[in-house]
Amino acid sequence: MRGAATQILLIVQIALIGLLVVRVYDLGMRVDSLSQERSARAESYAALPKFATSAELPAETALVEFDMASQVTLRQIVREELETFSETLPDPAGNTRAASSDAAQTVPPDEPADPAFKRRVDEQLYSLIAQGQASQAELIALENNIARLPPAHRRQVLGELNKAVNDGRLDARF
């Protein structure tokens, strides 16, 4: 009986070793297949166009060019907005600060309040919102026109532009 049991165990062991050899061969084939796929992907990635890194770009390349007039206008707008904001802040005693009259006189208005110009800027803004997308050039043109508006209307238009971008009605990159 022991001889027959030993022979059966030997046959089972040989069968299991055979299955193991078949599995190892199958895994080897899968590895070969995956390495071929990987090399094919690497070749297809190598065929894609390469993008220039910042080290490869020439030093004089500018993403956005600003002329000096727009920088001065932008600084003036920021000063006016900061002045308006600082007027509403309470001082340590709890009183609101009053605007100094000479500070208001030193900043001359860019242009007189022209209702036709205000309408054109509004139409320009709503046209961009209706398109749903604005290019960099369109935004620069709009910003230049907004900068020429009186402060009150400028805040209104900038607020509408901000709402449109935040609500997703206008896709714009500043």
Mean pLDDT by 10 residues, the chain (174 residues): 87 95 94 88 69 51 55 79 75 52 43 77 90 87 89 90 88 76
The pLDDT of residue 103 is 42
The pLDDT of residue 3 is 85
Dihedral sign for Cα atoms in the order 89, 94, 100, 103: negative
- Of the candidates 58, 62, 78, 61, the one whose C-alpha atom is nearest the C-alpha of residue 70 is 78
The pLDDT of residue 104 is 42
What does the alpha-carbon distance between residue 137 and residue 17 come to, in Å, rounded to a whole number? 73
For residue 158 the two structure tokens come to 């900038």
What does the alpha-carbon distance between residue 64 and residue 133 come to, in Å, rounded to a whole number? 18
Angle between the 151-167 and 68-88 helix axes, to the nearest 10 degrees? Answer: 90
The pLDDT of residue 102 is 43
The pLDDT of residue 107 is 39
Dihedral sign for Cα atoms in the order 157, 163, 166, 169: negative
The pLDDT of residue 98 is 47
The pLDDT of residue 61 is 45
Contact 129, 169 (CB under 8 A): yes
pTM: 0.38
The pLDDT of residue 18 is 95
Contact 110, 148 (CB under 8 A): yes
The pLDDT of residue 67 is 58
HSE value, Cβ hemisphere, 13 Å, CA-based, for 42: 6
